Structure 1
Amino acid sequence: MSSAAFERPRSFVLPEMQGSPTPLVVRGSAEVLHIQPALEKLASRCGQTGAMDDLDYFLARPQIRKKTPCLVTLAHAEQQSAAPAADELEAAVLLYEHQIAGYGIRIFATDDTTGRRTLVSPSWMRAQFALTACHRLLTQGAQCILISFRHDEPQVDASLERLLEGCGYACRWASREREIVSYLPLESTFDATLALMGARTRNHLRYYRRKAEKQLGCVFVPDATISREEFMEMNRTSAYPVPDEMAAWRYDSRAMPGSPLFYGMRDRDGRWLSLMGGRHVCGNMEMYWQMNCDLPEQSIGTAMRSMLIEHEVKRGTRRMYVEGGTTHSMSHAFVRERSTDLIVMRESSLARIIPALVKRFLPPENMLLQVLEDETLEWKHIRKH
C-alpha cells in the first residue's frame, strides 16, 4: 500500500457506516500471532515501529489464561480473511476478553496502560478506529469495552462526539486523558544521560554503584547464566517475589525469538544479586522485569540500574522503556506522553452489574477498575434509534 493511502481524507466516515470494509475480529493467542508479521509492518508504516514486536512475549504470560486475546482489524481487500496481507492491513487494536471460571463475560479491555502497544493505525484515524472497534464488538454482544491508546488530536472528545450515534444500541461512553511516564532518552554518554536527572538521583546512582563495587565486588554481566532452579530460588528470597508460575515464565522467555536480553549483577563470590529481563527492539531497550536480592542497606536495584544505563549507552541504545513504569526517582527524567482511555458500556441489565463484578474479581491496580471508579468521568449517552 502506498503512503498516499495513509493521508487523511477531507471527510472521514466510519468504515462500518460506509458499508465496506467491515472490521474483523480475530480471537485466541495462536490466531493473533499468525498475523503478527503483518501487524509489525503496519506499525512501522504508521510511525509506531516496535508496537507489535513483543506479542509472543506478552501473549505467553500466565495471567492471559484468564483472558482471551481479541484483535480487531481493518483491511482493504477484495476478499476479507482472518489473515490479511501486510499491505492490506490498515488498522488493528488488541483487546482481551475477561473470563470467570473459563467463560468469557463480554468485558473487553486493553492490557497496556500506556496505550503504546494497543492500537496501530495512521495517527489521524486512531480515535475513529477505536470507536469502530467498539461498534464492531457491540454487534457481537460486548457489554463493556476499554481501549487505552495514543493519538495526536488536541481533544479526542471532539472527534468521538458523533461516532456511536446510529449504532442501534443504547450505550454510554466516556474518555479521559492521562500523562504517561514513557521512556528515558539515552544520550551519547553515561554522564550526559545522568545530567537529565536531578542531583539527588544522580548522586544515588553513582554512590550505590560504588558501594556495591567496593564492598561486594559487584560486576555487571551482559549475558547472565543461571539454572532454572537457582532462578526460582532467587525469586522466592528476593525483595519483591512473584508467584512461581510468573517466575518460570520470566526464565523461559529467554528462549523466545527476537532479541531477548538477560542481564545480571553478581558479587565477588559469584552470587547473583540482581537479574533483569527484556528485549532490544528497533534500537530501543525494553525492561520487562528486575529481580534483586533483599539487601536494603545496599540498594541493589539502584546499583544495577546505574550499570544498566551505562551498558545501554555504550551499545548505542536510544531509549529505555520500563514495562509497568517505575517508582525510582529516575522516572522524573523520562519523557512524558499522553494516553487516552476510552470506555463504552452497553445500557443493559448485565452491564449495570459490571462495576461490582469488576471490583470483586480484579485487583485495585487494574486499569478497568480504576476507570469505572473515576468519579470525574463525564458519561455521554447514546439512545437506541
Structure 2
Amino acid sequence: MYSTVSVSSSSAVSSPAQSSNLHVMRGAFSILQMQSALKGLANRCIQPGAMDDLNFFLSRPQLRKKTPSLLSLSRNIQADAPDATVLLYEHHIAGRGTGIFATDDTTGRRTLVSRPSQRTLFALSACRHLLKRGAQCVLISFRHEEVAINTALGEQVLEDSRYSCRWASREREIAGYLPFEATLDMTLAKLGARTRNHLRYYRRRAENQLGCVFVPEVKISREDFIELNRISAYPVSDETAGWRYDSLGYMKAPLFCGLRDRDGRWLSLMGGRYYDCNFEMHWQINRTDMPEYSLATVMRAFHIEHEVQRGTRRMYVEGGTTHSMSHAFVPEKSTDLIVMRQSPIARMIPGMVKRFLPPENMLLQVLEDEAMSWHTVKRM
C-alpha cells in the first residue's frame, strides 16, 4: 500500500524548518513519482547523483523484505518541491512491518539530501516524526560537516510528549573515491608502488598470453550473463544476476564493460553507473577457473585507463572494495545517527537484529558498537 502523509513541523529549534511541512511517502511507486524533483534538490544541495537512478536502487531483490519510505521537508504545502529528503527502509519480519527504519547506504551519500547546515536538524526531525508515528528504531547515515552531533540539539529536537527515547551517534571515516587526473600516469602515481606494478604486470600478461582486449560497451545475452556469474569467483543467485542484467536498462547512463580473450570468451564483466563526470562500480564478475591471471586486477587496469581517457573525475565503489587501490582513495566522513524508543518492543530489537540480519549489516554493527555514547530523552 502506498500513502502520502503531510504534517506541520513543530520543532522548537529556530530554523527555516519551523514553517515547513513534512511529507511521508511509502513504497517505490510513490517515491519514483518525485524523481525529477529529488534530482533537482540534490543538484541544489551540491549532492549531484544522490537521487539519480532511484529505479535501480529501489528494485533490488533484497528490498523485498523492506518498505522504502521517503520523508521530505517542504516550505510549500505540496511535496513536489522539497527542501530536504531522507530515504529509509522499514524492515519486515514474516511480512509485517517492525517499526525498524534504516538506511541502505553506509556511505551516507544517497540517504539524506539537504543544505549542509540543515542536515543534522533534518535527520533529528525525521527521527522524531517517525517515533511519533510509532517507529521503534531509526538509523540514518548521512554526510555531516560537524565533528559530532550536538547533544543539546539532539535532546531539544527529539523531546516529545508521546514517547521517551535514547539516541547516539558516531563519526566514521570511509574510503570515499579514487580521483582521476588528466593522464594515466598521474592517476596511477596516487597508488602504491606494489599496486601500480601489479596493475601493469597482470595486464601485460593477460594481453600476451590470452590476447585480452577491453570492451567498453558489452553486448551479451541474459542467459550468457547468468552462466558467467555461475562460474565466477563470487557468484550471486540466478535471480540477483538476472536483476543485475535487467537493471542496467533502468539507468540513465549505465556502465557495462568487460574483458574478452582472443577466442571471444568473456573473462570479466563490470557494471555500475555514470553521473556528474564520475562513475560508481556496483559489481564485478571474474571467471574463477583462471586465478593465476588475477582478472579483477586486469579489469581495473584496463578500466582506469579507459575512464581517464573519457575524462571521468572520480571512481566510487558501492559497498567498498578490498582491493589494494582502496588505500589511495580520498577519505570521507559519514555520520550514523540512531534513535531507539524506550519500550518493551525496542528492548528486543538488538536480539532480533542479531538473529535476522547478516554480520555486515550497518544496523547490527551500530547496535553492537560498545564505543557509542547513548543519551536519554524523557517524555515531556
Do the two structures share a fold, i.e. TM-score over 0.5?
A: yes
In the alignment, the residues of structure 2 paired with residue 327 and residue 167 of structure 1 have an alpha-carbon distance, to the nearest angstrom, of 47
Matches within 5 A, 1:190-209: 190-209=184-203
Percent identity at matched positions? Answer: 64
What is the letter of the counterpart of residue 319 of structure 1?
Answer: R
Summarize the Cα distance change of 1:100–1:384 in structure 2 as closer, same or farther, 3 Å threshold.
Answer: same
Matches within 5 A, 1:316-331: 316-331=311-326
1:177 to 160, 165, 171: 171
**Is there any run of 5+ residues in structure 1 with no aligned partner, and where?**
1-10
Shift of residue 122, structure 1, vs aligned partner = 0.4
Match of 1:113 in 2: 106
In the alignment, the residues of structure 2 paired with residue 15 and residue 141 of structure 1 have an alpha-carbon distance, to the nearest angstrom, of 26
Any conservation in 2 of the 1:259–1:281 contact (CA below 8 Å)? Answer: yes
Match of 1:26 in 2: 25
In the alignment, the residues of structure 2 paired with residue 350 and residue 15 of structure 1 have an alpha-carbon distance, to the nearest angstrom, of 35
Task: Indicate the larger mover: 208-217 or 154-163.
Answer: 154-163
Match of 2:373 in 1: 378
Task: Indicate the larger mover: 362-371 or 151-160.
Answer: 151-160
Match of 2:118 in 1: 125
Match of 1:6 in 2: none
What is the letter of the counterpart of residue 329 of structure 1?
Answer: S
TM-score, normalization by structure 1: 0.93
The DSSP-based 3-state class of the residue aligned with 1:155 is: coil
Match of 2:5 in 1: none
Summarize the Cα distance change of 1:340–1:167 in structure 2 as closer, same or farther, 3 Å threshold.
Answer: farther
Summarize the Cα distance change of 1:167–1:268 in structure 2 as closer, same or farther, 3 Å threshold.
Answer: farther
Any conservation in 1 of the 2:233–2:286 contact (CA below 8 Å)? Answer: yes
The DSSP-based 3-state class of the residue aligned with 1:254 is: helix
What is the letter of the counterpart of residue 369 of structure 1?
Answer: L
Match of 2:62 in 1: 63
In the alignment, the residues of structure 2 paired with residue 354 and residue 123 of structure 1 have an alpha-carbon distance, to the nearest angstrom, of 31
RMSD: 1.4
In the alignment, the residues of structure 2 paired with residue 41 and residue 323 of structure 1 have an alpha-carbon distance, to the nearest angstrom, of 23
In the alignment, the residues of structure 2 paired with residue 165 and residue 30 of structure 1 have an alpha-carbon distance, to the nearest angstrom, of 33
What is the letter of the counterpart of residue 144 of structure 2?
Answer: H
* Matching of residue 142 in structure 1 with residue 143 in structure 2: no
Matches within 5 A, 1:188-227: 188-227=182-221
* Matching of residue 41 in structure 1 with residue 51 in structure 2: no
Cα displacement string for residues 236-263 of structure 1 (whole angstroms, at most 9, x for unaligned residues): 1100001111100111112224011210
What is the letter of the counterpart of residue 303 of structure 1?
Answer: V
Any conservation in 2 of the 1:278–1:286 contact (CA below 8 Å)? Answer: yes
| Paired residues, number | 367
Shift of residue 117, structure 1, vs aligned partner = 0.4
**Is there any run of 5+ residues in structure 2 with no aligned partner, and where?**
1-11
The DSSP-based 3-state class of the residue aligned with 1:162 is: helix
In the alignment, the residues of structure 1 paired with residue 373 and residue 354 of structure 2 have an alpha-carbon distance, to the nearest angstrom, of 20
Any conservation in 2 of the 1:110–1:118 contact (CA below 8 Å)? Answer: yes
Cα displacement string for residues 36-63 of structure 1 (whole angstroms, at most 9, x for unaligned residues): 1101100100111111112111111001
* Matching of residue 359 in structure 1 with residue 359 in structure 2: no
* Matching of residue 292 in structure 1 with residue 281 in structure 2: no
Any conservation in 2 of the 1:66–1:99 contact (CA below 8 Å)? Answer: yes
Match of 1:250 in 2: 244
